[in-house]
Amino acid sequence: MYTNIPHDDGIKATSDLYANHHGNETPAVPTSVLTTLLRSVLVNNVFEFNSEYFIQLNGTSMGTKLAPNYANLFMANLEESFLADFEQRTSLKPLIYLRDFSPSTIHFLDVNIHLDNNNKIKTSLYTKPTDNPSYLHFTSEHPRHMKTSLPYSMALRCSRICSDINDAQTEIVKLEQKFLARGYPKELVRNAPQKAIAKRSAPIDPTNSTPGKPGPINFITTYNSNLPNLNSILKRHHSILLSNERTKLIFDQAPRIVYRRPRNLRDHLVRAKVNSSQSHRLVDSCQPCGKPRCLVCRQMTITKQVQNIDSSFVFEIRGSYNCQTSNAVYLLQCTLCKMQYIGQTSTQFNYRFNNHKSHCTIYPDLSISKHCAQEGHNLSQFSIAILKAGFGSLADRLYFESYMIQRFKTKTRGLNEDYGILPPLLD
């Protein structure tokens, strides 16, 4: 829906609802300013894909912060217009409108509303026929308090939705089986329903939250199961912040730890951005960049595959790489003695190769510097091949570099001084 909202209709709906909301009062932000800003966001939505830039002509992008509110306001205006027209023609105004019709039962969201034998309204839990819940596994890399609260909160949901205690207990038994199947401890799963049933009819305590009172400042960090109890550490040392007049005003309460989700397997394996090194390639190969002033081109090998010094391993180059390729793992080979070196770089390779040249003078103890110091050897006699580029992270690049060091045997028979971050497995 986001991408199908006409700009003029969406802006008009937003401005109308904004003006109606303030009534006769003058809003702090004039309606004209709001519509100007809104149009600016909508018509200037530029995005990049496959190294090409596009501008979105219709609707709003899925990721912009205003999209949910903008879409809700548009649909609210459309719904009000539809219902007003419906009421004018039929003199009826539905409370809710759904695609299903029944004289005795109807569902709305997760609530099933039905009439019992005495024509009294009852409620029970509604789940779609295709529902196949997969609750968070207890061994998942999440803070423990999140996992221990799930059985209780889900049981409380069942007990509050179901008007009949027997229906609530039936749903809670089903819930228990699902959590046990996901590795939750039996004691935790068994205790949750008791707490939920006890709180079934308890009124919500308004004193639990004070409107207008600011809460503690959030300390946001990425979660890791090896972290200590940061909340207790901050509370224990909160007195340090209170000892200073300036920080006392800011941190009148101990900061609260809020965890950010760590990278998961999907983040490591799936990329939203197409690798620029592969997006426009015509042929998988390593080749010179062809720039007139590039001094590395003469040493860049034009090849689709490279092999180690004893020809026991052949590597197929699957990408179009050149002197200006960045985020890469590369191979240097002396054309005189065939000694090889595996390296990695985050910058363009031609910059990295210039660093090798300067290091030969500045850092004489490096392996390549020692090799170039031998009689008849210098860096201009090395051939170059880019093996792979476009890595998702530094760790990915370092792992691949270490793996190539072992496959090309450049630690035991070449110029690399160590195996990198992987232990010796292949040499």
Domain range for 231 is 215-262
Does some domain include residue 328? Answer: yes
Q: What is the pLDDT of residues 160-172, one digit of tens each?
A: 999 888 888 899 9
Which pLDDT belongs to residue 277? 46
pLDDT band at residue 280 under the 50/70/90 scheme: very low
Do 133 and 249 share a domain, yes or no?
no
**pLDDT tops 50 at residue 279:** no
What does the alpha-carbon distance between residue 379 and residue 376 come to, in Å, rounded to a whole number?
10
- The answer to whether residues 288 and 393 belong to one domain is yes
Please check whether residues 183 and 123 belong to one and the same domain.
yes
For 193-209, write each residue's pLDDT tens digit. Answer: 888 888 776 666 655 55
Looking at the structure, tell me whether residues 128 and 171 fall in a common domain. Answer: yes
List, in order, residues 6 or more apart from 397 with CB less than 8 Å away.
Answer: 327, 328, 329, 344, 346, 391
Q: Output the pLDDT for position 134.
A: 85
Q: Are residues 305 and 375 in the same domain?
A: yes
Predicted model pTM: 0.48
**Domain for residue 298, yes or no?**
yes
Distances (CA, A) of 23 to 16, 28, 75, 78, 369: 11, 13, 21, 20, 77
Same domain, 281 and 384: yes
Is residue 40 assigned to a domain? yes
The total domain count for the chain is 4
For residues 414 and 309, is the Cβ–Cβ distance under 8 A? yes
**Is 271 contained in some domain?**
no
Percent of the chain at pLDDT > 70 equals: 91
CB neighbour list of residue 135: distance below 8 Å, 6 or more residues apart: 150, 154, 178, 179, 182
My answer on whether 311 and 403 are in the same domain is yes
- Does residue 79 surpass a pLDDT of 60? yes
Q: Could you tell me the two tokens for 359?
A: 């290091």
Same domain, 153 and 124: yes
Q: Is the domain of 66 the same as that of 149?
A: no
For residues 140-155, average pLDDT: 91
Q: How far is CA 67 from the centre of its chain?
A: 18
Amino acid identity, residue 206?
Answer: P
130/180 same-domain check: yes
Question: Is the pLDDT score of 20 beyond 90?
Answer: no
172 within a domain of the structure (yes/no) = yes
More confident site: 266 or 179: 179
| Residue 397 within any structural domain of the chain | yes
How many CB atoms are closer than 10 A to CB 327? 22
pLDDT band of 96, cuts 50, 70, 90: low
Does 176 map to a domain? yes
Say if residue 284's pLDDT is above 90. no
286 and 393 share one domain: yes
Q: Tell me whether residue 417 is in a domain.
A: no
Q: 115 and 37: one domain?
A: no
